Amino acid sequence: MSTEPAFLPSRDLRNLKTLDLTSSECIDSIHRNLDSLAQLLGASGGQIVHAPPQIVQSAEQLCASSEPAVEHPPREIESFERTYVTRWLSRLVSEFTLTSTDNEAAALQTEQQLPDKCAALLAIAAGRMAAGASIHNHVFHLNDGLLEVQLRDGALVHDSLGTHTWGAAPILSQLLLPLKADPIRDFKLLELGAGTGLVGLALAAWLRRTPGVRRSQIFCTDYHPTVLENLAHNIILNGWSSSESSLQEDREDHKTAVCVTARSLDWQSVHQALNGHTSGQAQELTSQTLPDQHLFPVSGSSWAQKFDTDAYSNAFDTLVAADCVYDPVHPLWICSVAKKLLKKPHASSTDEPLLHVMVPLRPTHQQELQAVYQAFRSQPGLPGPQLNILCEKDYHGYENFGAWNAVARSDSAAHSQPEGGLARTYRWFQIGWR
């Protein structure tokens, strides 16, 4: 393990009182400082390396564990350093503005792109949600090698949270790999509330590189048009067409084609149709994220097309939902979607159709958690199999939208990564027919 002292902004950042932006030595020093801040804030290199999921252990096991320690600065020091960083960056932005008319200084700054870097880090220091759109390369260390997914995260939209990659997605992605896909039958997977699409795209990337897997069809679904537009962008960013028509083209060329498609899916409408209710006004939620009428996109966008639930009735081998439960009614709607779309068990197949739900255990969301248990419990007197929770496990994770990152350090690069914001426990539910 490295013994190099950790970067401390108040000690290691250049004193701006002696700033000379016409000096190449000064510019190089500022550049190194910004690189150090980028690493501290979890924004270095546009790359996020995800450590393997760590299951929550008992207190006795944790004491004896050899897992990497997470270094958290004391709260009073953290607050002081965060304030220092914000003031230092703000002062630097001001200095760049004042010297913008100096041709020599402006040339040096432009060459290093320092004003842009400084502004971007200032936004992150104010909170990751305020940082605007950014593209990151998400890296997973799997037993069969590295797996990478590129994602564009957008700024927080006033009525939707789905343009941001939340903490459950990287954990669930790794827990589901390697997929147990039948090499004989085509494989179908549906991601609910896909957001930026990390889970669906990670599984698709694994399927694309894995020999012996039959044709695979992955639908990444969401509801808010801003989220869907960003989702479609991420699908294209990772080398797929966002339209379903590409599947037929792939079938003609490859026996193991993988198709990834973005579609609009309204859980409430599925729930109402399944229970014989007339589709009417959208229910007001405690965490409202439904788009207003003026936000609906113009027709013609492939990602704006509604997912055809009737055409895919009980057709999916796997359903996934990461960080999708933020209202007590959501589990009931998700249950209805699963009843409509998840395959029923078949004697000829050894692979059990499953719905995977992962939720963060937040003190303020106990009602939402209990709603998961209520939605997927057996109801006596109903005919046929019912969806039940078959297994549940808790995992350590982080909500990576905070202004300050701790760093997990170990001798293994596979376990070293920037950890953002607030430590959180995530519960993984495996739900199937019983």
Task: Strands of 225-292 (E only): list them.
Answer: 258-264
- Tell me the backbone φ, ψ of residue 388, rounded to 5 degrees: -130, 155
Whole-angstrom distance, CA of residue 420 vs CA of residue 432 = 33
Return the SS3 of 263: strand
Q: Where in the chain is the domain with CATH 3.40.50.150?
A: 134-433
* Whether pLDDT at 234 is above 60: yes
Whose CA is closest to 114, among 380, 122, 146, 265?
Answer: 122
How many Å apart are CA 213 and CA 99, to the nearest integer?
59
**318-322 and 187-192: which strand pairing?**
parallel
Specify the 3-state DSSP secondary structure of 140. Answer: strand
What the block records as the tokens of 86 is 């914000």
- Residues 252, 227: Cα–Cα separation, whole Å: 31
Greatest mean pLDDT among 5-19, 141-155, 169-183, 319-333 lies in 319-333
User: Which of 307, 407, 324, 366 shows the shortest CA–CA distance to 69?
Assistant: 407
Asked if pLDDT for residue 6 goes beyond 50, the answer is: yes
Supply the mean pLDDT for the chain: 80
The class that CATH gives domain 134-433 is alpha beta
pLDDT greater than 80 at residue 26: yes
Q: Is the pLDDT of residue 68 over 50?
A: no
Please enumerate in sequence order all residues whose Cβ is within 8 A of that of 130, keeping only pairs 6 or more positions apart, or say none.
123, 124, 155, 156
Give the residue among 16, 12, 10, 11 at the shortest CA–CA distance from 90.
16
SS (H, E, C) 18-36: HCCCCCHHHHHHHHHHHHH
CB-CB contact of 214 with 255 (8 Å): yes
Contacts of residue 143, Cβ cutoff 8 Å, sequence gap at least 6:
178
Asked if residue 279 has pLDDT above 90, the reply is no
pTM: 0.75
CA angle 158, 193, 375 (to 5 degrees): 115
pLDDT at 204 over 90: yes
Give the pLDDT confidence score for residue 40 in this predicted structure. Answer: 74
Q: Give the model's confidence band at 219: pLDDT under 50 very low, under 70 low, under 90 confident, else very high.
A: very high
215 φψ region: left (φ > 0), alpha (ψ -120 to 50), beta (else):
beta
Residues contacting 412, CB < 8 A, separation 6+: 68
Question: pLDDT at position 401, please?
Answer: 43
Pick the more confident residue, 146 or 44.
146
What's the pLDDT tens digit per position in 85-138?
Answer: 989 999 998 888 887 656 666 666 655 578 888 888 887 777 655 556 778 889
